[in-house]
A and B are shown apart, each in its own frame.
Chain A
Amino acid sequence: MDPFLPWVSCVAKPLLLSSGKRELEVDPPVMNAAGTLGWHNEADGWLELRHLGAFITNPLSHHRRSPAANAGVAETAGGFVLHSGLPNPGLTAGLRKPPPANPPLPRIVHLIGDPAELETMILETEAHEHVAAIEIGLERPGPALLQVVGRLSQSAELPVVVRLGLDEPDDLFLEAAEAGCRALSFGPAHGRVARPEGPFGGRLYGPAMLPLMLAKLARLRAYVSLPLIAAGGIGDRQSAHAMLDAGADGIQLDFILWLDPSAVLPL
């Protein structure tokens, strides 16, 4: 028997995502985070995905999106700051990219957009075959956007996960739950680092995120009963175990997939 599967199954049961109409069982409840492996596993050939329960695409916007002019990466004491501007070919072109075939993992499409676009984007995504669920990434959402996303989560055919940042206030997660969201994921916070050419901001990745993620998870778990998926800071099996043990229903891997996937997944 593969040594990885007992490890996961001893600490976590499959993650069940539901829209009320359709369900997705993520088994094991381990995924890549959006933005780590491209749209159809660009790392194919050297990264073995068979131990993931689902594959999450890079973020897709309604229309094609160019990189940020100041895209880049900068090391910090406990990880790194990365800023890309979420470049992507747009939803229609992104959906045309083939899903991971080896193995054929359930594909969760990560969407970014404003309230006016999201409903159309969800309909287009649902019409496409080989999509098992949707994750909607929100940046500092206000109450109005949360209401829209909650309503869309209730009406969607496919299960919808709503993604928030670690640095969003706890109240926002509760508001998202009350608005009708059916599952929440949360990942790295924004950060800034000083560089000789000026300050550089982006999302923070690396082991330094782990205690912050665990603390957030412990607080959220106390009053959010929805499925919670945690991403950030997982750099080995112990940290993955800690996240699941602290109440995460699922985990998403980020920096470790680039640095050393064998630390978390068997190769």
Chain B
Amino acid sequence: MGSMVATVESIGRDVAGQDTVRLRCPPASLPRPGQPMLACQQASSSALVHTLYPIAITAEAFTCRLPQGERWLPADQVGLRGPIGPGFQPPIAARRWLLVAPHGDAGPLLPLMTRGLDTGVALTLAGHPPVAGLPPEVEVATEPEGALAWADYVALLADRQTLAATMEWLDRHAPLGSPPAELLLLDRLACGFGACGACSLRTGHGWRWLCQDGPVFALGELRG
């Protein structure tokens, strides 16, 4: 993890109607799919760092939801730390990816979708509400349960409140075991480097820290 200064390139609005911010930062420091960044600056409206989950990543910038309460403007400088964790690591041989947020917005899965498109894999994406305006190569599933039997890699999205329900959803619809799966757990981090202990998560293999061991976890690690 490093620290850097990013520049607000633009403020926009995504298809779900939420404000977004595009942040330009050094290419070597750009996050990969599933890697959050921390916005750290005293001039912030918050005394707590903002955890930014990218919803789009390009060669020189990334886009995320505008943190609540912030009034960033184009050309503003924003202190960043990150990227956090290794991000998603789909098996190289996997060619049919199912990206699914069974109980919420699939936005933070979109950078992984873009990476999948770049590498030519077949993609199915599902979330609530359904994501609009996707490339035609991406199949939008309204009932992703059926795609579990088709996929050879599954990327899931949940937060603390929907984690248990997401795991149950997977167990219910893939009772014989899902293909290799990873889950991005969305949460607000405090320190971001394993000192405060506020992002602890009890997994099947013991306690883990989102900021050090995640926030993308292999499903086998969550289950034990």
Contact = CB atoms under 8 A, between A and B. Distances in A.
9 contacts: A37-B195, A38-B193, A67-B207, A71-B200, A73-B48, A75-B48, A75-B188, A84-B200, A258-B190
Interface stretch (B38-46, B108-116, B121-129): B38-46
Would you call the interface of chain B mostly helix, strand, loop, or mixed? loop
Nearest to B43: A260
Interface of A: 35-38, 42-43, 45-46, 58, 66-69, 71-75, 78-80, 82-87, 197, 205-207, 235-236, 255-256, 258-260, 262-263
B41 A260 contact: yes
Contacts of A73: 48, 188-190, 196, 198-199
B47 interface: yes
B2 A45 contact: yes
Task: Determine the main DSSP class of A at the interface with B.
Answer: loop
A75 B188 CA distance: 9
Nearest to A84: B197
Interface of B: 1-3, 40-42, 44, 46-49, 79, 81, 160-161, 187-200, 202, 207
B40 to A, nearest CB: 5
A191 to B, nearest CB: 13
Chain A to chain B: the 10 pairs with minimum beta-carbon distance, closest first: A84-B197, A67-B200, A206-B47, A260-B42, A38-B195, A46-B3, A263-B42, A79-B47, A80-B48, A73-B190
B66 to A, nearest CB: 15
A207 B2 CA distance: 26
Given A46-B81, A69-B202, A73-B188, A259 B197 contact: no
